[in-house]
């Protein structure tokens, strides 16, 4: 009952005209960037941060959250209609979705994707609301050592779930941690790795790193793939799926929702992994796996439900524990920090408006997305006619203005260009920058908690595995070590590669 009261409170916050409008803007922008390949939610949220300065924090987060789940809807539209996944989370949707479209069943595919997403979004939202309080209570029992160990577990999960080489993923984690220590030491005030340079004294601005590594480096990489986009102009008729379609898709939606919700909560997970996982699961469970790749409706329903469920539930660790489970949530931490909010368990007690308002807005946003997406399909597809040669200078210009206006500091813009270059190099050298970003965000909190824990234990490094004193921490460390050991065993590595190379 308490849950209902809280949700009612949340809806009261979310349905104010301003917040409804912001939610709509977020959902629309999300759909837009979901449709457009070459720009993802990370760069967009970072880019729009300055626009939110004048808003109150609740409104700002409602809008930014809308961008993330809106992108999951938009990405599927182009994946189905033009075989061009606008987001990496809809790569698998394109496999069967586009085949359905070729057979003249684009309407059914789009509708199933939207319905599945909506059901998953609803479930995800309820899960966030339900798990909010218990997890917050757990988080309040955490001491510094437990927190530190939890973040270690988070980083280990990010390593296990990252695609590609485990070794390289660990290296990226360490690079992110190292970069997070640049700036003034919090305790002693000493300058660390700043080259004696004043603008670096506050540390590396998160947005410059995210925008450089994800925004600029992405553009450079996109310019190399000079594939032309051939638009298959298809009339989308008959949006209603048949009864058989619904019957066929329903179990896939349910499985995708559950799988996506779980993978969303896990650190290192998120929408992309959820979609891949759901596709593999559907194919494994299907009695007719040969149908997959030729227009199986379950191949659309499963991943689309999963990616949207994960987009919702990835807010759980952020809102309750203050730990971003993936790179997009890491950007959300940046957004919260700019608005003076410290992510973590205290949000629920100190800012109930924000917590419940955000959750309620997610459901409203999902509803809006179903409504705006299906009838407006033609408009979104037409957007793809905007050539990339106009798109990327516009993105760059927005990014530059956005980065400049964080601190009104031209140096930040230069730093972004530098990180763009570094990001491009890292991609060329086969490194994946996403784990680095998560580690960068966690790094500052980790060092702080590590120091506190060491202070409390009078410098005993074994305090983290002292079961008598810190049982939570000990268990978390044991799980981390076990997971890491599993990740390097050949059998699991093979499995992991299968999931990611599924095409």
Partner 1 sequence: MIAKPPGGNARSIQDILGGAFLVAIAALALFLVNHLPATGRVGFASGTAPRLFAYGLMALGAWILVAGIFKEGPGLGRFNWRGLATILGSVLVFAIGIRVVGLALIGVPMVMLASLADQHFKAEESLYFGIGMTAFCGLLFPTVLGQPIPLWPPFLDMTPGQPTAYIVYAIAAVMVLGMVLYVGRQLMQGRKGN
Say whether 183 sits in a helix, a strand or coil: strand
For residue 229, the minimal CB distance to partner 1 (Å) is 13
Q: Which of 108, 78, 111, 115 is nearest to 94 (CA)?
A: 78
For residue 235, the minimal CB distance to partner 1 (Å) is 16
Confirm or reject binding of residue 166 to partner 1 (CB under 8 A). no
Contact indicator for 85, 91 with CB cutoff of 8 Å: yes
Q: Which of 63, 118, 54, 69 is nearest to 256 (CA)?
A: 118
- CA torsion, ordered 341, 346, 350, 354, to nearest 10 deg: 60
Confirm or reject binding of residue 230 to partner 1 (CB under 8 A). no
Among 9, 168, 294, 469, binds partner 1 (CB under 8 A): 168
Q: Residues near 422 by Cβ (< 8 Å), separated by ≥ 6?
A: 212, 213
Confirm or reject binding of residue 226 to partner 1 (CB under 8 A). yes
Site string for partner 1, 40-69 (x = CB under 8 A): ----------xx-xx---------------
Query: If 0-12 CB within 10 Å is exposed, 13-18 middle and 19+ buried, where does residue 93 land?
Result: buried
Confirm or reject binding of residue 462 to partner 1 (CB under 8 A). no
Q: Residues near 251 by Cβ (< 8 Å), separated by ≥ 6?
A: 298
Nearer to partner 1, 126 or 456 (CB): 456
Say whether 191 sits in a helix, a strand or coil: strand
Confirm or reject binding of residue 436 to partner 1 (CB under 8 A). no
Strand ranges for 53-94 from DSSP E: none
Confirm or reject binding of residue 376 to partner 1 (CB under 8 A). no
For residue 327, the minimal CB distance to partner 1 (Å) is 19
Rounded to 10°, the helix 217-224/410-428 angle is 50
For residue 22, the minimal CB distance to partner 1 (Å) is 14
Among 9, 405, 465, 499, binds partner 1 (CB under 8 A): 405
Q: How far apart are CA 261 and CA 255, in angstroms?
A: 10
Among 188, 233, 237, 290, binds partner 1 (CB under 8 A): 188
The secondary structure element, H or E, covering residue 501 is helix 490-501
Nearer to partner 1, 192 or 247 (CB): 192
For residue 162, the minimal CB distance to partner 1 (Å) is 14
Contact indicator for 100, 80 with CB cutoff of 8 Å: yes
Among 14, 170, 209, 336, binds partner 1 (CB under 8 A): 170
Among 4, 141, 429, 491, binds partner 1 (CB under 8 A): 429
Nearer to partner 1, 373 or 463 (CB): 463
Confirm or reject binding of residue 133 to partner 1 (CB under 8 A). no
Q: How far apart are CA 278 and CA 92, in angstroms?
A: 9
Nearer to partner 1, 18 or 288 (CB): 18
Q: Which of 270, 368, 365, 340 is nearest to 62 (CA)?
A: 365
Scanning 91-99, 110-118, 371-379, 455-463 for contacts with partner 1 by CB under 8 A, the matching segment is 455-463
Nearer to partner 1, 175 or 362 (CB): 175
Interface size with partner 1, residues (CB under 8 A)? 67
Confirm or reject binding of residue 487 to partner 1 (CB under 8 A). no
- What Cα–Cα distance (Å) separates residue 162 from each residue in 267, 284, 493? 10, 22, 11
Query: If 0-12 CB within 10 Å is exposed, 13-18 middle and 19+ buried, where does residue 349 land?
Result: exposed
Nearer to partner 1, 17 or 459 (CB): 459
Among 455, 482, 485, 488, binds partner 1 (CB under 8 A): 455
| Site residues, partner 1 (CB under 8 A) | 50-51, 53-54, 167-168, 170-171, 174-175, 177-178, 181, 185, 187-188, 190, 192-193, 195, 216, 219-220, 223-224, 226, 388-390, 392-394, 396-401, 404-405, 408, 410-411, 413-414, 416-417, 420-421, 424-426, 428-431, 443, 447, 450-451, 454-455, 457-459, 461, 501
């Amino acid at each position: 009952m308490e849950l209902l009261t809280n949700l009612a409170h949340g809806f009261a916050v979310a349905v104010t005209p301003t917040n409804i409008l912001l939610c709509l803007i977020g959902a629309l922008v999300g759909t837009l960037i979901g449709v457009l390949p070459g720009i993802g939610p990370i760069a967009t949220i970072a880019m729009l941060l300055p626009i939110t300065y004048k808003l109150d924090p609740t409104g700002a987060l409602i809008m930014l959250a809308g961008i993330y789940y809106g992108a999951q809807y938009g990405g599927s539209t182009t994946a189905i209609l033009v075989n061009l996944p606008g987001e990496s989370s809809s790569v698998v949707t394109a496999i069967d979705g586009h085949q359905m479209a070729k057979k003249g069943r684009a309407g059914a595919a789009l509708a199933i994707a939207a319905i599945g997403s909506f059901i998953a979004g609803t479930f995800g939202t309820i899960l966030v609301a339900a798990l909010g309080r218990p997890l917050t209570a757990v988080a309040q029992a955490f001491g510094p050592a437990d927190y530190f160990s939890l973040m270690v577990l988070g980083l280990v999960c990010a390593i296990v779930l990252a695609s590609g080489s485990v070794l390289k993923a660990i290296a990226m984690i360490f690079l992110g941690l190292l970069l997070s220590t640049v700036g003034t030491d919090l305790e002693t005030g000493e300058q660390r790795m700043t080259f004696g340079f004043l603008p670096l004294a506050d540390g590396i601005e998160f947005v410059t790193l995210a925008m450089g590594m994800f925004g600029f480096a992405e553009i450079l990489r996109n310019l190399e793939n000079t594939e032309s986009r051939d638009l298959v102009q298809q009339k989308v008729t008959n949006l209603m799926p048949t009864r058989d379609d619904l019957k066929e898709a329903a179990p896939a939606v349910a499985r995708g929702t559950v799988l996506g919700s779980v993978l969303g909560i896990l650190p290192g997970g998120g929408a992309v992994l959820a979609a891949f996982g759901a596709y593999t699961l559907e194919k494994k469970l299907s009695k007719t796996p040969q149908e997959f790749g030729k227009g199986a409706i379950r191949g659309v329903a499963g991943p689309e439900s999963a990616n949207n469920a994960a987009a919702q539930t990835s807010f759980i660790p952020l809102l309750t524990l203050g730990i971003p489970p993936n790179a997009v949530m890491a950007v959300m931490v940046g957004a919260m920090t700019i608005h003076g909010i410290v992510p973590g368990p205290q949000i629920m007690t100190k800012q109930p408006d924000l917590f419940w308002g955000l959750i309620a807005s997610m459901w409203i946003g999902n509803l809006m997305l179903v409504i705006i997406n299906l009838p407006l399909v033609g408009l979104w597809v037409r957007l793809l006619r905007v050539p990339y040669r106009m798109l990327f200078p516009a993105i760059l210009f927005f990014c530059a203005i956005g980065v400049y206006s964080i601190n009104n500091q031209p140096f930040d813009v230069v730093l972004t260009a530098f990180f763009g270059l570094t990001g491009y190099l890292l991609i060329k050298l086969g490194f994946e920058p996403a784990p680095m970003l998560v580690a960068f965000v966690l790094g500052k909190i980790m060092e702080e908690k590590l120091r506190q824990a060491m202070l409390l234990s009078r410098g005993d490094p074994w305090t983290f595995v002292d079961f008598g004193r810190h049982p939570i921490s000990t268990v978390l460390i044991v799980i981390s070590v076990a997971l890491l050991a599993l990740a390097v065993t050949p059998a699991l590595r093979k499995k992991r590669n299968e999931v990611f190379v599924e095409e």
